[in-house]
Structure 1
Amino acid sequence: MFKRGKVKGVIFDCYMTLIDVVNDEESLETYDIIRRWLRYYGVDISPEKLKNEYKAKIKEAFDSSELEYPEIKVENIFSDICFENAIWDLDEKILGIETARMFRAASVKKLEVYQESLELLEVFADYPKCLVSNSQRVFSEMEVKYLGLHKYFDYVIFSSDYGYKKPDHHLFEIAQKRLGLNAEEILYIGI
């Protein structure tokens, strides 16, 4: 059993720490599902072109950043793709958000909570906790809620909200400030 000491708060990582997730963003089938769904919203694109544009735009966004550990908003990538391949007027911002969620749904093959992590959350039930994740709020927030994990955390930080990701120290500094603790008082649990 964990004994109280200098630790006054806990930061948890999300995926592969609390949530076991397996997805397939390489399969052409994933992009074909999205392509078929997008035609109902006025976007005409082949699965091959969708995959290639998605990968190219992500690479371009990362390459153009001056940050050491840059992060993007995947919904913006999909918004651009939808706008560029629209066959009628559409609200590309909203469609970008919905496409990002649909893409995640189409690509996820496994999404479940590690039982051991639930037990660990109970061990730290009386501690202030912050979730810090290299992930996209557009779908990760819903996955955390769907799996019932949101109730365990006082604060949740997704890298997509900030434009940089771990191991950039800024995300941990934000969590530290929200917890109102000194760094040496916080236990980090994650990979």
Structure 2
Amino acid sequence: MFKRGKVKGIIFDCYKTLIDIETDEDSLDTYYILSRWFCYYGVNVSPEKLKEEYRTKVKEAFDSSEQQHPEVKVENIFSEICLENAIWDIDEEILGIEAARLFRAASIRKFRAYPESFELLEIFEDYPKCIVSNAQRVFSEMELKYLGLHKYFDFVIFSSDYGYKKPDQRLFEIAQKRLGLKAEEILSIGDTVENDVEPPKKLGMRGMHIEDAWKTTSAFKSFF
């Protein structure tokens, strides 16, 4: 499958590739926790209104974007909500960041690292590696650190930093430039063909589904 020495750098997706996660942003319980927490910081908004405003503001941000695959910063969304519902003076920027993290924590139903992916990371230990993820730096970076994954990578590219997300090929172009490798020397591994396999392939990279990578672990040990 792979010629020895041909692949010199690896790009990983994050969620459902390195991290097994399930969240529920539709449940009113998620917004109830955040709504009750807000009362200690001078923000008066019911769970129902919070859910409606969050969804509306995210949709408006997507609709107003000129990007084909738009992305938002969730902390900015929550900053706006906090400012509009404040009943005393607040620091909406800091509060927006903390609200985004609490919202994430309240929504999580499953959260762990895949042991199979740890094995892959050990195989690729001496290779330049990065993550390209449709994720929010405000909480995703800490999740990677908490699970002991962040240390394996030279850098992480989060879509929230750029205003657009995969399958936009530009995120992979940025990764290639920072890795300092030719496209054909890079292997992208992820859980969706449309986001993690096809876009890098169009740039001349290689692409592999994470489940195929797990199955090929023994072969990787022979080549890397």
Aligning the two structures, in what range does the TM-score lie when normalised by the shorter sequence? Answer: over 0.9
| Correspondence for 2:175 | 175
Q: Deviations over 1:120-170 (max 9, x none)?
A: 111111110011110000000000000000110011111101111001011
What is the distance in 1 between the residues matched to 2:31 and 2:4? 49
Mapped to 1, the partners of 2:71 and 2:6 lie a distance apart of: 33
SS of structure 2 residue aligned to 1:148:
coil
Q: Please give the alpha-carbon distance, in whole angstroms, between the structure 2 residues aligned to 1:4 and 1:125.
A: 16
Deviations 1:60-119 (A, max 9, x none): 000111111111000000000000000000000000000000000100111100110001
Matches within 5 A, 1:138-153: 138-153=138-153
Distance (Å, rounded) in 2 between the aligned partners of 1:135 and 1:85 = 27
Matches within 5 A, 1:95-134: 95-134=95-134
Give unmatched runs, 5+ long, in structure 2.
192-224
Question: Structure 1, residues 23-82: CA drift from partner, whole Å, max 9, x if none?
Answer: 110000100000000000000000000000000000000011111111100000000000
Are the aligned partners of 1:2 and 1:123 in contact in 2 as well (CA < 8 Å)? no
CA drift of 1:4 comes to 2.8
Kept in 2: contact 1:74–1:100 (CA 8 A)? yes
Letter in 2 for 1:65: S
Q: Contact 1:77/1:96 (CA < 8 Å) preserved in 2?
A: yes
Runs of 4+ in 1 over 4 A off after TM superposition: none
Tell me the distance in 1 between the aligned counterparts of 2:70 and 2:100: 19
CA distance in 1, matches of 2:95, 2:160: 18
Over aligned residue pairs, what C-alpha RMSD do you find? Answer: 1.2
d(CA) in 1 for partners of 2:156 and 2:187? 16
SS across alignment from 1:10: strand
Equivalents in 2 of 1:14, 1:53: separation in Å? 28
Q: Which one-letter code corresponds to 2:165 in the other structure? A: K
Larger relative contact order (CA 8 Å, sep ≥ 6): 1
Change (3 A) 1:3 1:114: farther
Aligned to 1:190: 190
Post-superposition offset of 1:2: 7.1
TM-score (norm 1): 0.98
Counterpart position of 2:60? 60
Please give the residue correspondences for 1:54-93 in structure 2 after superposition, counting only pairs within 5 Å.
54-93=54-93
Distance 1:109 1:149 in 2: 20
Amino acid at match of 1:187: L
Report the count of equivalent residues. 191
Q: Aligned residues: percent identity? A: 76
The answer (yes or no) to whether the contact 1:83–1:92 under 8 Å persists in 2 is yes
TM-score normalised by structure 2 residue count: 0.84
